[in-house]
Structure 1
Amino acid sequence: MTFNTIKDYFKFSREQRTGIIVLFGIIIILQLVYFFVDFNPIQEKDLGKQQWLSLQAEVDSLKLHRSDVKPAIYPFNPNFISDYKGYKLGMSVKEIDRLLDFRKGNKFVNSAKEFQDVTKVSDSLLNAIAPFFKFPDWISHKKEFKDYKYVHNSAFAKKEKIVLIDINQATKEDLIKINGVGEIISLRILTQKEKLGGFVSMEQLKDVWGLSPEVILNLNNHFKIAKLPNLIKIDVNNASIKELSQFFYFKYDLARQIVKYRSMNGDFKNIEDLIKINGFPVEKANFIALYLDF
């Protein structure tokens, strides 16, 4: 290839030279835009981020302040204290183990004194947590109502003693006598009793649809759990999903979770194993346990 041949490649017409100059001009302009124009995100977002960062110190100080605040303690049944619950209450590992060993025998503590006798907790700790103990109705209401004192004077009428009737022995007529309980409500209460095989706690009246707190209070003033009914207990370690879901407190999804947990972890030993299942009504565990056989 000769020099003249190469030279022919660099011969351009006037229009071609103009186009090349324009192309170089565009390239230079783009380079200048790249170097001098700020392509960072919109400043409003940066301002928002800066505002959040400025509040971070205040948030951190509030966290430090709240770390000194002790969490609120709500009423609970001491028979169902777990390792974590006991730790939060201030119990030692040995004290928690004593309670758990006692419960393995399917025994219950029925008073603050029995709780201390079993766990050996100190008087100071017992005084701090005992006010939050909540025992079932048949434990809390063992004492009969005392007679009203009255002055032997014909000007005053004698106050009659309220005789509490066992809710499991109550008839439709007994229930209708209570203010706020009509024929429909009384039938709902009796139907609920039949579904369960009998009430074991007056708290179960809260599960009867249509009962207001005032009516439940009236019922508690006239009825009680005198003794536990003869229940046909559910064999929770052998019952099928269908059988478990027929129990009032076990919906189908919970029954399925119970069977799944049982197949993966083995038989349930007590109610403490059941409350580990997601969705289990922990607040009702104290009386649900009485319907189950482990």
Structure 2
Amino acid sequence: MNKIKSYFMFSREHRGGIFLFLLLLIAFQLSYFFFDFNPIQKQQPSKAELQWLAMQNEIDSIKHLNDSLKHVIKPFNPNFITDYKASVLGMSVKEIDRLHKFRSLDKYVNSGKEFQQITKISNELLNTISPHFKFPDWVTESNNLNNIQYSKANSNFKKFPQKKAIVPMNINDASKEDIMKIYGIGHKISENIIKEKENFGAFASIEQLKYIWGISPEIYNDIQMYFYIGQNPPLKTIDINNLSINELVKFPYFDYKLARQIVIFRSANDDIKNIDDLTKIKGMPTEKIQIIALYLKL
């Protein structure tokens, strides 16, 4: 018994060592309980997050593209500048309104200086955008050769001066070059007019031109001064009472839906006899009925 008891008899140093060991053991257990010693695992993004990242990358690329393009200014005629373009170029609402008010009087500016006098834009903005102004060649040449001066009585700038007296000509005999003499008509619009004339065989009314893409009210007003319809134009007339739907749709003002309504109406009413009958057909463009009637065999 005494021998066993001797195992539990410690000196002062031994007891101190055992006590320190117990403290370290308790501290280790507590640290293991409160701290996570597992290696940190990177969380994989969800499917929605991946989609958002892909979309954000696309948005960033579009923004970058827009930033690279926004400083590119294509040549334009300041007389026909849109509100949006004017705003993008840096014009204020008041400056844009001054130009609209001036243009409402059927007047035009012929140079950058005149544009500034009308709109009251700053010299800095004028120097930025005026190099991109594009006026008709004959206006530019006239400005360079004659240095057009305006009298005090005509302090508001006149409409573009005419090079010579207007000599109207038959629109059905006009060439592409003849049509391009109209201010505001370029290659594309003149091609549209020639193509439309070929579709009809000939124009039956000057009014037809205002329905062509690219023809603004200002251009149409000039067309009425420069062109007219000659006698007995070679129209491609159509037999509206006997053509099939597929044949009717070849007429420029008829689409498939309208051609079908024409066939239904003439079947139910014993043919189309006059203009009044045209007004009763569903979908018939009322503003074009007088023109359409000129191409019909009734």
TM-score (norm 2): 0.44
Which structure is larger by alpha-carbon Rg, 1 or 2? 2
TM-score (norm 1): 0.45
